[in-house]
A and B are shown apart, each in its own frame.
Chain A
Amino acid sequence: MKRLYIGLIIFLPHFIHAQGFQVNLQGQKQQGMAGAGTGLIQDAAAVFFNPGGVSFLKENSATVGVTATIANGTFLDADSHTLNHTNSPVATPFTGYVVWGVKDSTSKLKNFKFGLGVYTPFGSIASWENGWTGRFALTYLSLQSIFIQPTVSYKVCEKLGIGAGFVYATGNVELKQDLPLLGVNGNYGSADLKGSANGYGFNAGIYYKPTDKLSVGLTYRSQVNMSVSNGTATFTVPASVASNFPSGPFTSSLPLPQVATLGFGYLVNSKLALAFDANFIGWKCLDTLAFTYKTTTATLQDTKLPRDYQNTFAFRLGAQYKLNDQFTVRAGAALSLTPIKDGYVTPEVPDANKVNLACGLGYRPMKNLILDASYTFENLTRTDNNIALQLNGTYKTYISAIGLSVIYQF
Chain B
Amino acid sequence: MKKNILKIILGAIVIGVIGSCKPSIDIPKPSAGSMNPSYFVALGNSITSGYADGALYYSGQQNSFVNLLSGQFKLVGGGNFNQPLVPAGSVGVGSTGNAPFKLGYSTDCLGVTSLSPVPVSTSGDLSIFSNSVASSGPFNNMGVPGAKVITAVFQGYGNPLLGPGNYNPFFYRMTANPATSSMVTDATAQNPTFFSLFLGNNDVLAYALAGGASDMITPSAGPVGIGFDATYYSIVNSLTANGAKGVVGNIPDVTSLPFFTTIPYNGLALDSGNASLMNAVYNLRGLYFHVGNNPFVISDLSAPYGIRLMTPNDYMLLDVPLDSIKCHGMGSYHGGIPDKYILTATEVAGIKSATDAFNSTIRSAAQSKGLAFVDVNAFMKTTQKGIIYNGVTLNTSFVTGGAFSLDGVHLNPIGQALLANEFIKAINSTYGSTIPQVDVTKYRGVIFP
B444 CB within 8 Å of chain A:
yes
Which applies to chain A's interface (DSSP): helix, strand, loop or mixed? strand
Per-residue CB proximity of A381-410 to B under 8 Å, as 1/0?
000000011110010111110100000000
A239 CB within 8 Å of chain B:
yes
Within 8 Å CB of B21, what residues of A? 72, 398
Q: State the CA gap A237–B15 with chains docked (Å).
A: 43
Within 8 Å CB of A70, what residues of B? 16, 19-20
Tell whether A375 pairs with B441 under 8 Å between CB atoms, given A73-B23, A398-B21: no
Q: State the CA gap A375–B115 with chains docked (Å).
A: 58
Q: Which of A43-51, A154-162, A180-188 contacts B (4 or more CB under 8 A)?
A: A180-188
A115 CB within 8 Å of chain B:
no
Decide if A184 touches B30 in the complex (CB within 8 Å). Answer: no
B392 CB within 8 Å of chain A:
yes
B217 CB within 8 Å of chain A:
no
Q: How far is the CB of A308 from chain B (nearest CB, A)?
A: 17
Q: How far is the CB of B424 from chain A (nearest CB, A)?
A: 9
Decide if A133 touches B22 in the complex (CB within 8 Å). Answer: no
Select from chain A the residue with minimum beta-carbon distance to B439.
Answer: A80
Tell whether A375 pairs with B27 under 8 Å between CB atoms, given A85-B22, A182-B448, A361-B5: no
Q: Number of contacts between A and B (CB, 8 Å)? A: 122
Q: Please classify how large the interface on chain A is, using the bins under 10, 10 to 19, 20 to 34, 35 or more.
A: 35 or more
Q: Which of B196-204, B302-310, B353-361, B383-391 contacts A (4 or more CB under 8 A)?
A: B383-391
B165 CB within 8 Å of chain A:
no
A280 CB within 8 Å of chain B:
no
Select from chain A the residue with minimum beta-carbon distance to B115.
Answer: A240
Q: State the CA gap A329–B445 with chains docked (Å).
A: 58
A136 CB within 8 Å of chain B:
yes
Decide if A74 touches B1 in the complex (CB within 8 Å). Answer: no
Decide if B390 touches A389 in the complex (CB within 8 Å). Answer: yes
Q: State the CA gap A29–B386 with chains docked (Å).
A: 53
Decide if A182 touches B446 in the complex (CB within 8 Å). Answer: yes
Decide if B390 touches A180 in the complex (CB within 8 Å). Answer: no
Decide if A241 touches B448 in the complex (CB within 8 Å). Answer: yes
The residue that B391 contacts in the complex, of A81, A85, A136, A237, with Cβ under 8 A, is A136
The residue that A136 contacts in the complex, of B9, B22, B441, with Cβ under 8 A, is B441
A370 CB within 8 Å of chain B:
no
Within 8 Å CB of A80, what residues of B? 436-439
A82 CB within 8 Å of chain B:
yes
Per-residue CB proximity of A329-340 to B under 8 Å, as 1/0?
100000000000
Residues of A within 8 A of B (CB): 70, 72-74, 76-77, 79-83, 85, 131, 133-138, 177, 180-184, 237-241, 323-324, 326-327, 329, 359, 361, 363, 373, 375, 377, 379, 388-391, 394, 396-400, 402
Pairs A–B under 8 Å by Cβ, sample size 6: A77-B390, A182-B447, A238-B449, A240-B115, A373-B12, A398-B21
Closest 10 CB pairs of A and B: A400-B19, A137-B391, A238-B448, A80-B439, A81-B436, A396-B23, A136-B391, A390-B388, A79-B437, A389-B391
Residues of B within 8 A of A (CB): 1, 5, 8-9, 12-13, 15-16, 18-25, 27-28, 30, 103, 105, 115, 387-392, 402, 421, 436-439, 441-442, 444-449
- Given A180-B445, A240-B105, 14 other A-B contacts at CB below 8 A? A74-B22, A74-B25, A80-B438, A81-B28, A135-B441, A182-B444, A182-B447, A239-B449, A373-B12, A375-B16, A389-B391, A390-B389, A391-B391, A396-B24
